[in-house]
Structure 1
Amino acid sequence: MIQHQIEQKLREALAPSYLKVLNESYMHNVPEGSESHFKVIVVSDEFEGKRLIARHRAINNILAEELSDHIHALAIHTYTETEWQALDAEQVPLSPNCMGGGKG
């Protein structure tokens, strides 16, 4: 299961204080049960002092295998503990609609 792989790899690499991996494939025009569209919310001290692009590159590097073979879309939301504490969880952006076609 791809979702489990994503969770395991991110936990091992980043030791997050908060991690949420959402399979959003059901929102897209893909076969039922697909694991191709994900959203990750990661809160980790590893992001301290790093710009957003460096945080995203870190996630992309950790999940390089999954991104090359299984994942069509990955929404990445990264925070330090301080940023997360200041954020209302409802402020985490919604994932954009898939450009490959909507649910029919």
Structure 2
Amino acid sequence: MLSEQKIRDKLSVAIPNVHNVIITDTSNGCGQSFDVIVVSDTFQGKNKIQRCRLVNTALKEEVAQIHAFGCKCFTLEEWSKLVV
């Protein structure tokens, strides 16, 4: 079963300058559906598709094992404007 910690660890290694990772198990604990928010300045200058591709590439093996996966990616500046 895929865990939130395993996702967090993989993203922290694969994506430079990670400021925050928020993971929500939307499968009521069975580990088959996750929503992820990643905050990294690596996303600067990239559009939404390019950002999500970075995350999906980092989690390719994990995403193949689960039922549903969603991600949202923000730079630190974008994130700070959202969480006022």
TM class by smaller structure: 0.7 to 0.9
* Matched residue, 1:24: 26
Unaligned runs of 5+ in 1: 27-32, 90-104
Cα deviation, residue 88, structure 1: 3.1
Displaced runs of 4+ in structure 1, greater than 4 A? none
Q: How does 1:69-80 map to 2 (within 5 A)?
A: 70-80=65-75
2:47 is aligned with 1:51: yes
Unaligned runs of 5+ in 2: none
2:34 is aligned with 1:38: yes
**Number of residues of Structure 1 aligned to a counterpart in Structure 2:** 82
The structure with the greater share of residues assigned to strand is 2
Cα deviation, residue 18, structure 1: 1.1
* Matched residue, 1:92: none
Sequence identity (%) = 38
Q: CA RMSD in A?
A: 1.5
Where 1:77 maps in the other structure, the secondary structure is strand
TM-score calculated relative to the size of structure 1: 0.72
TM-score calculated relative to the size of structure 2: 0.88
Give, in whole Å, the separation in 1 of the partners of 2:20 and 2:5.
Answer: 15
Aligned AA for 2:49? I
